[in-house]
Structure 1
């Protein structure tokens, strides 16, 4: 019979699950040939077991009304928990709104009320029981809110569909930096063709309330046991809308100049950093470019581009942001490139931003996202010269050694410090284990699966 200490239950959860002796996705041995992708990374007081993160992915699976509105459910325990079981270092909960009218759809989660803490806590408890970190992406959809779950629009042959009041939508409460029919995401409003509602312009007071609501949601996240918080300023949602001169036509302190258009973002960052523990990492997702340069609208109004993102990036370390999650697009249907569905665009931009940050002698981790599907691709994005070896003092000492790695390998700079993977996990929840196998890295599997660990 095995000693009882080899079957210790995870504490503080109301059911039995064994404490893994080694967290899934952790290499059994770290050597000088271990790919950087499978070396640990310490960020403030938390340590990633490897460099693979599950990116936030909308599931449109919470109640649209009633006492359970916006609360995570068993669906989220099952899906997010499975990625943790299969070795991801950090699993993000999808875009979670800080206000009721900031949800992308009526079925998206929220954290504007204390009643929503318990659902998030259940998800966090299970993810963490598998040795994985749990993160949350705090968001406000702005003028892209009150849309229907995508399978509803698919049945109509559309990319998206407005959510009417009869399915829980809020057409009269869609807000953005600027208002009017011409500020509808499509660029026009037509009762039959438009996929989005025309927004109303937020008042200056409402903007300040949004800052506070981001901070309060961050406090609730910490109370729920979340390890990492990410601010969503990408893909045409509210914070991105304020950054862009295409969607921000304001004349108050939040519009016009670069300083004014970035004001809301920086106020949200500062408000969150001030209320969460210093030990909690803070990430920022940003659309590094709108891909609107060269378009008629971009020539007329200007647009948000990589140079603007670099100007923001070099200010982030002083504000307490630990990692910039580099994405693109989403603020206008006229964008020249669909970066979300194009390999390498985000990676190349991430590398450019990382180089600029390092040139300024600043410490800011960079994450790459978008169509990362292959083991070798993920490996090469983060590869550094590797001097890490197994330490008797455990994962924190190994992470410290990883931090001291040289910054190049064969004369090549890494493009990012971590990879964030989304849709590939929907296809292959075991993707971390498969990547390890393809790269020849022997990693630990969950205790319950060890008898099939060599059968990939």
Structure 2
């Protein structure tokens, strides 16, 4: 689609920190059926969506980049936890090619909350400064810059997943990043209770004191403020995958006897306190999201034969999401698992979609917020089918984006939908951006 610029001027993106040609409307946006008859019936996947009653964030389509840990930051020194040009290229390619939201990986609010020594952090201003050019680039591509904030809890001070500990003498099964050269902090791993994720292969955490909990809440406040100043339009709380917030929610990992343990109300207390702090810290025009694991996939189920909760599951998740909506979240992303090595998961295409569907169905009209689904959603027809059935409102993808950075554009072609592409790439998409022959003939008659 030729760009329309008066007097042959190659217009740049307004307010960008450097020149780059403008793509109007942004890449990934379905084009008008006035010019493109193929778009007479646009799939839900490429229809816009407004998120938030106050923020009113406009998604150009319903395909989101889920946060993906890359274990690619400095582990010590002044640039510890800082994103780099690698992350700009890694995330920028998704924004350039049409993702509605591009989310930075799980970013720790404290040094001891990193999953590995090479994870992203946001506990100081230098880290915020490193984020800014990445958020700027995402924004100038017409994608929404977002970040996921969290604390790894009992699964911190671990190694990057590709490191082979069998080569160490003597060979190790352990995932622990030991203190010293490996950059770990085994003496400062903390969790709601002093229970290891796996006694043989993971660090042994200490039980968090009330002072630790207060410091964690303050760290979330400070990191949220830094994310805002760096340019994030969405900040997401990571309450999934067996990390710190999920540790508090689940009876499997939370055996506390104070106000933060025991009953469901108590186990939800810290996550809800943090959500309220994040909402109070963010400007009203910015959006607060949350990701949860809807189930521990505990072999004995969510309740025992007395009806008491023994693991985290869908029944508690429904209650928690409703309380989180009261605390101010605008969207919830539904994942599962990660809190116990005993989990028994029935993996298959879209295996987590039923959790999103159940949570979405549990919300009243007044509570209704968009629900995102994730997990082995690998093609456009599958994603569109999930939306058409009302199982979710948006689709989050991670590994599929790694396999195919042009996922949004390729799913559009799969669904016979014309979306705009970056002006610099349009010559590669002439097949998609060509009117049907019958329509071309009609145009010539007139």
The worse-fitting range, judged by mean Cα deviation, of 54-63 and 43-52 is: 43-52
In the other structure, the counterpart of 1:184 is 196
Q: Quick check: 1:168 aligned with 2:208?
A: no
Q: Quick check: 1:17 aligned with 2:32?
A: no
Native 8 Å contact 2:302 2:312 kept in 1: no
In the other structure, the counterpart of 1:146 is 157
Q: Once the 2 structures are TM-superposed, how far is the Cα of residue 297 of structure 1 from its aligned partner?
A: 11
Q: Quick check: 1:201 aligned with 2:207?
A: yes
Determine which of 286, 299, 306 is the counterpart of 1:280. Answer: 286
Matched position secondary structure for 1:274:
helix
Larger radius of gyration: 2
Q: In 2 relative to 1, CA 153–263 (structure 1 residues): closer, same or farther, beyond 3 Å?
A: farther
Query: TM-score by structure 1 length?
Result: 0.87
Aligned length: 415
Determine which of 415, 418, 442 is the counterpart of 1:442. Answer: 418
Q: Once the 2 structures are TM-superposed, how far is the Cα of residue 375 of structure 1 from its aligned partner?
A: 1.1
Alignment of 1:230-249 (within 5 A): 230-249=236-255
Native 8 Å contact 1:235 1:329 kept in 2: yes
Q: Once the 2 structures are TM-superposed, how far is the Cα of residue 328 of structure 1 from its aligned partner?
A: 0.4
Q: Once the 2 structures are TM-superposed, how far is the Cα of residue 211 of structure 1 from its aligned partner?
A: 1.1
Determine which of 396, 417, 420 is the counterpart of 2:396. Answer: 420
Q: Once the 2 structures are TM-superposed, how far is the Cα of residue 151 of structure 1 from its aligned partner?
A: 1.2
Q: Once the 2 structures are TM-superposed, how far is the Cα of residue 279 of structure 1 from its aligned partner?
A: 1.2
The worse-fitting range, judged by mean Cα deviation, of 11-20 and 195-204 is: 11-20
Native 8 Å contact 2:272 2:323 kept in 1: no
In the other structure, the counterpart of 1:133 is 144
Q: In 2 relative to 1, CA 366–64 (structure 1 residues): closer, same or farther, beyond 3 Å?
A: same
Q: Once the 2 structures are TM-superposed, how far is the Cα of residue 267 of structure 1 from its aligned partner?
A: 0.3
In the other structure, the counterpart of 1:315 is 323
Determine which of 114, 127, 137 is the counterpart of 1:116. Answer: 127
Native 8 Å contact 1:6 1:21 kept in 2: no
Output one character per residue of 1:19-75: Cα deviation in whole Å (capped at 9) or x when no partner.
222200001126562111100111223211100001000000110011111011001
Determine which of 428, 438, 445 is the counterpart of 1:452. Answer: 428
Native 8 Å contact 1:246 1:298 kept in 2: no
For residues 22 and 302 of structure 2, what CA distance do their matches in structure 1 show?
Answer: 58
Query: TM-score by structure 2 length?
Result: 0.89
Q: Once the 2 structures are TM-superposed, how far is the Cα of residue 222 of structure 1 from its aligned partner?
A: 0.6
The worse-fitting range, judged by mean Cα deviation, of 148-157 and 205-214 is: 148-157
For residues 426 and 92 of structure 2, what CA distance do their matches in structure 1 show?
Answer: 18
Native 8 Å contact 1:316 1:364 kept in 2: no
Question: Which structure 1 segments of 5+ residues have no match?
Answer: 189-193, 384-412
The worse-fitting range, judged by mean Cα deviation, of 427-436 and 296-305 is: 296-305
Q: Quick check: 1:377 aligned with 2:382?
A: yes
Q: Once the 2 structures are TM-superposed, how far is the Cα of residue 143 of structure 1 from its aligned partner?
A: 0.5
Alignment of 1:264-343 (within 5 A): 264-294=270-300, 302-337=310-345, 341-343=347-349
Native 8 Å contact 1:92 1:134 kept in 2: yes
Q: Once the 2 structures are TM-superposed, how far is the Cα of residue 271 of structure 1 from its aligned partner?
A: 0.3
Q: In 2 relative to 1, CA 423–117 (structure 1 residues): closer, same or farther, beyond 3 Å?
A: same
Q: Once the 2 structures are TM-superposed, how far is the Cα of residue 111 of structure 1 from its aligned partner?
A: 0.3
Output one character per residue of 1:246-288: Cα deviation in whole Å (capped at 9) or x when no partner.
1101111111111110001000100000010111111110000
Determine which of 365, 373, 385 is the counterpart of 1:368. Answer: 373
What is the root-mean-square deviation of aligned Cα atoms in Å?
2.2
Output one character per residue of 1:90-149: Cα deviation in whole Å (capped at 9) or x when no partner.
010000000000001000000011111111101101111111111100010010001111
In the other structure, the counterpart of 1:228 is 234
Output one character per residue of 1:418-441: Cα deviation in whole Å (capped at 9) or x when no partner.
000010000000011110001000
Q: In 2 relative to 1, CA 304–16 (structure 1 residues): closer, same or farther, beyond 3 Å?
A: same
Q: In 2 relative to 1, CA 155–15 (structure 1 residues): closer, same or farther, beyond 3 Å?
A: farther
In the other structure, the counterpart of 1:107 is 118
Matched position secondary structure for 2:162:
helix
For residues 455 and 168 of structure 1, what CA distance do their matches in structure 2 show?
Answer: 51
